[in-house]
Amino acid sequence: MALLNEYFLEFPGDSLFSDVAKKINTFKVIRPNAELIDMSINDVTTPLPSSVVEAMHRAVDDMADSTRFHGYGPEQGYEFLRDSIIKNDFNSRGIHLMPNEVFINDGVKSEIGNIGDLLRSDNTIGVVDPIYPVYIESNVISGRAGMFYKGRWSNVCYLSCNESNGFAPMPPEYPIDIVYLCSPDNPTGAAYSKGQLKKWVDYAIKNNTLILFDASYEAYIQSPDIPHSIYEIRGAKKVAIELRSFSRTAGFTGLRCGYTIIPKELTVQTLDGRRVQMNTLWSRRQSIRFNGVSYVTQCAAAATYTELGKKQLLQTIEYYMENAHMMRRILSPLNLRIYGGEHIPYLWIKIPTEMSSWEFFESMLYGAKVICTPGVVFGPGGEGFVRLSAFAKREACEKAAGRLRDWLE
Ligand code: PLP
């Protein structure tokens, strides 16, 4: 008899993101002629840079030639890409890594869940709240989140991200086994300073905590004081896995490529107290369950490290950041409390009335015909806020900000 993984049944209902979609569909039925602007966009809107597209064309030609054809690749990723990553993203910041500490993945979302393969289901989980929901949901389906009660999972420690701590919570007094940190953070836009991140690393060393550090948005960091990698902090290689993605920097949301750093120094304990190297186990896991990212995609990713590629990525990043700055400028006369938009193109806005984030979302939908994301979709701590995404096109950002200004005035 085949028995189900019943943890899938633990979810209280559809995801809150699908509630957003339902409410938008209802609006479209009621107001079929209204022109909506989508500022809840969870994707990028600029196409792949030409350097990437040309590299893909060349890679496709390789695949059509019997002398240059590539079949199964190394599970860990091609060395040409891993070398470029180390040289450009880490050596340039004084961080030294070996090629076998870099694992090419098909995006951070799947990797966040996959890493759970190496971790027992009775670990406690710590997340900042609000947060990218995948950190929690991937633990729910592997039985690590406990029971859902009054909007929270019993085995998850929610570390409150709020205005008074600058949306960057510090380690708690008690130990947590696995902690997810995201910097710069989706949705709040907060980015940890070196001093703050050091506190987390020290905490992890003291408590045998594993940190999963999501640096998907690191390329958007605008200040030299903000670390791009957790390995800029001494001791982090002993306690942290870092995840990075080409999605937001090079428009790979549809192509799928990222990478995971698992330093050789990182060990995790067995129940009887033995320390085991995560890197070796992850190599084994990948060779059992993964056949690598396609050659064409990895050639595309490698093109982002060419001179032209770097220049084009910078232009894309500037484009989205300018969207965010422009929206802030348009909204600033309203005296709203606007966060984010500094190191990430998301604006995290305090709702200026007593409305809940769902009520404000609907009010904005019908009043301004602008779609935002209700903060509570990212966790109970998001109540009282909404997120606007500047990953939309320039004209849409400008028009939406103008409509919001007029509506709120
Ligand atoms: N991590 C964070 C914080 C995100 O916001 C997202 C996408 O929205 C992802 C990871 C997903 O990245 P990828 O496209 O590499 O799966």
Of 218, 245, 252, 348, which is best to mutate to test ligand 1, by the most ligand atoms within 8 angstroms of its C-beta?
245
Distance CA 319, CA 308 (A): 17
How far is residue 223's CA from residue 124's CA, in Å, rounded to a whole number? 33
Pocket flag, ligand 1, residue 186 (CB < 6 Å): yes
Alpha carbon of 246 to ligand 1 centroid (Å): 10
Rounded Cα gap, residues 175 and 157, in angstroms = 10
Residue 231 burial by CB count (10 A; 0-12/13-18/19+): exposed, middle or buried?
buried
Domain positions in the chain are 14-43+308-408, 52-305
Q: What is residue 197's predicted lDDT score, i.e. its pLDDT?
A: 98
What is the distance between the alpha carbons of residues 392 and 396, in angstroms, rounded to a whole number? 6
Please tell me if the CB atom of residue 114 comes closer than 6 angstroms to any atom of ligand 1: no
Contact 151, 380 (CB under 8 A): yes
Alpha helices in 122-263 (DSSP H): 134-140, 194-207, 247-250
**Does ligand 1 lie within 6 Å of residue 312's CB atom?**
no
CATH code matching the domain that covers 52-305, chosen among 3.40.640.10, 3.40.50.9100, 3.20.20.110, 3.20.20.70: 3.40.640.10
Ligand 1 contacts CB of residue 253 (under 6 A): yes
Residue 338's φ and ψ, nearest 5 degrees, are -110, 125
Q: Does 182 contact ligand 1 (Cβ within 6 A)?
A: yes
Q: What is the chain's pLDDT, residue by residue, as a tens digit (409 residues)?
A: 999 999 999 888 767 778 888 999 999 999 999 999 999 988 999 999 999 999 999 999 999 999 999 999 999 999 999 999 999 999 999 999 999 999 999 999 999 999 999 999 999 999 999 999 999 999 999 999 999 998 899 999 999 999 999 999 999 999 999 999 999 999 999 999 999 999 999 999 999 999 999 999 999 999 999 999 999 999 999 999 999 999 999 999 999 999 999 999 999 999 999 999 999 999 999 999 999 999 999 999 999 999 999 999 999 999 999 999 999 999 999 989 999 999 999 999 999 999 999 999 999 999 999 999 999 999 999 999 999 999 999 999 999 999 999 999 8
Contact partners, residue 83, CB within 8 Å, separation at least 6 = 99
- How crowded is the C-beta side of 147, counted as CA atoms within 13 Å? 2
Q: With a 6 A CB cut-off, is 50 part of the ligand 1 pocket?
A: no
Q: d(Cα 268, Cα 270) in Å, to the nearest integer?
A: 7
Distance between Cα 42 and ligand 1 center (Å): 9
Instruction: Record the pTM.
Output: 0.96
Q: Distance between CA atoms of 139 and 274, rounded to whole angstroms?
A: 24
pLDDT, residue 127, reads 97
109 Cβ inside 6 Å of ligand 1: yes
217 Cα–ligand 1 center, Å: 8
Which residue, chain included where needed, has tokens 């859902």? 148
The atom of ligand 1 lying closest to the CA of 253 is: 14
Residue 341: what pLDDT? 95
What pLDDT is stored for residue 150 in this prediction?
A: 86
The candidate with the shortest Cα–Cα distance to 381, out of 148, 136, 167, is: 167
Residue 202 in tokens: 């020290």
Q: How far is CA 103 from the centre of its chain?
A: 17
Give the CATH architecture of domain 14-43+308-408: Alpha-Beta Complex (3.90)
Place of tokens 């001179």: 307
Closest residue by Cα to residue 257 from 304, 219, 210:
304
- Phi then psi dihedrals of residue 57, to 5 deg: -60, -45
**49 upstream amide cis, omega within 30 of 0:** no
Cα separation values, 144 from 153, 207, 409, Å = 9, 19, 46
Q: What is the pLDDT of residue 151?
A: 86
Residues in the chain: 409
The most distant pair of C-alpha atoms in the chain lies apart, rounded to whole Å, by 67
Pocket probe for ligand 1: among 247, 260, 320, the residue whose CB has the most ligand atoms within 8 Å is 247
| Distance between Cα 216 and ligand 1 center (Å) | 6
> Is 52-305 in the same CATH topology as 14-43+308-408?
no
